[in-house]
Amino acid sequence: EVQLVESGGGLVQAGGSLRLSCAASGFIFDDYVIGWFRQAPGKEREGVSCISSSDGRTEYADSVKGRFTISSDSAKRTVYLQMSSLKPEDSAIYYCARARLRRRWYRPTPWDYDYWGQGTQVTVSS
């Protein structure tokens, strides 16, 4: 059974940092792109970043470039999202998800991902 479990969310002041974790199980970790997404109240879910653990390829949304860093640890089957210089507009529920097909690159667009975690809340106060 494919499972993705996020952790690490919380309340932080503007300018602060958080590190999110996504623990994966039930599939060959290095064969799939894993993405991070977020959804704020009243807004559509948007892609934040994604990574291919097999070759280290990454992509970021323009809104987070230079502030967020995605990484993965294949031994721990975990993908991380280090978030720095956080802004109130970064507040959202953050989800990780697995791309649809193995051994193929995907950009962080929600419709290309089929298994999702339950999400973790990030709140940035001003």
Q: What is the per-residue pLDDT across 72-105, written as a single tens digit (0 to 9) for each?
A: 999 999 999 999 999 999 999 999 999 999 999 9
CB distance 36 to 95 below 8 Å = yes
Q: Give pLDDT, residue 14.
A: 98
Cα 56 to Cα 71: distance, rounded to the nearest angstrom: 8
Tens of pLDDT, residue by residue over 34-77, are: 999 999 999 999 999 999 999 999 999 999 999 999 999 999 99
Q: Ramachandran region of residue 3, left (φ > 0), alpha (ψ -120 to 50) or beta? A: beta
Cα 83 to Cα 106: distance, rounded to the nearest angstrom: 22
Closest CA to 116 of 62, 68, 47: 47
